[in-house]
């Protein structure tokens, strides 16, 4: 296990050293969002929409969602 971890650390170090960091470029590679993060974002948006809908439904003065 420690040997695998050591190999991983060494490969990461070598990749970082091999990066040609030029001025104005970001020193990292942007990772895509994982599926679980995408699901979490969608569920948060859905919860907000549900709360907004329930709030509008509870208010008799307001007839439309804005």
**What are the extents of the domains in the chain?**
34-58
pLDDT in tens, 45-60: 999 999 999 998 888 7
Q: Residue 65's pLDDT is what? A: 57
The DSSP secondary structure of 16-65, one letter per residue, reads HHHS---TTS-SS-PPPPPHHHHHHHHHHHHHHHHHHHHHHHH-SS--S-
User: Does 4 have pLDDT greater than 70?
Assistant: yes
What confidence score (pLDDT) does residue 45 get? 95
Whether the model clears a pTM of 0.75, i.e. scores above it, the answer is no
Average pLDDT (13-23) is 67
Percent of the chain with pLDDT over 90: 24
């Amino acid at each position: 296990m420690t040997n695998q971890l050591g190999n991983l650390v060494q490969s990461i170090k070598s990749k970082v050293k091999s990066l040609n960091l030029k001025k104005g470029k970001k020193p990292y590679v942007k990772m895509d969002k994982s599926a679980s993060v995408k699901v979490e974002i969608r569920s948060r948006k859905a919860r907000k929409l549900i709360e907004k809908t329930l709030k509008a439904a509870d208010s008799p003065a307001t007839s439309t969602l804005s």
